[in-house]
Amino acid sequence: MINNNIFLRYEFKYFMSSKISQEIFRQSLNFMNIDNFALKNKNQEYLVRSLYFDNNDYSNFFEKVDGIKIRKKFRLRSYDKNLNSKSPVFLEMKGRSHDRIIKKRIMIDKTDIKYFESLKNLNELSKKYNSDLIKDFIYDVKRKNIKPKIMIDYNRRPLINKFGLYFRLTFDSDIVSTKTEYLFENKEKFKFPLEYKPGNSILEVKFERSIPAWFHRIIQSYNLNRRSISKFVLGVCNCKIRSETSD
Model pLDDT, residue 87: 86
Nearest to 178 by CA among 99, 96, 234: 234
Report if pTM > 0.85: yes
For 82-90, the CB contacts below 8 A with 24+ separation are 82/184, 83/110, 83/113, 83/183, 83/184, 89/113, 89/183
Q: What is the pLDDT of residue 192?
A: 72
pLDDT at position 1:
44
Question: If the chain, 247 residues long, is cut into consecutive pieces of 10 residues, what is the mean pLDDT of each piece?
Answer: 73 94 97 93 92 96 93 96 88 92 95 96 93 96 96 95 92 92 77 67 94 96 93 89 62
User: How high is the pLDDT of residue 200?
Assistant: 80
Please give the pLDDT value at position 4: 65
What is the DSSP code string of 99-128? TEEEEEEEEE-GGGHHHHHH--STHHHHHH
Rounded distance between C-alpha atoms, residue 115 and residue 119, angstroms: 5
Q: Computed from CA positions of residues 30, 35, 41, 46, in that sequence, does the dihedral angle turn out positive or negative?
A: negative
Rounded CA-CA distance 191/178 in Å is: 5
Q: Tell me what pLDDT residue 195 has.
A: 65
What was the pLDDT predicted at 191? 73
The dihedral region occupied by 40, where left means phi > 0, alpha psi between -120 and 50, and beta the remainder, is alpha
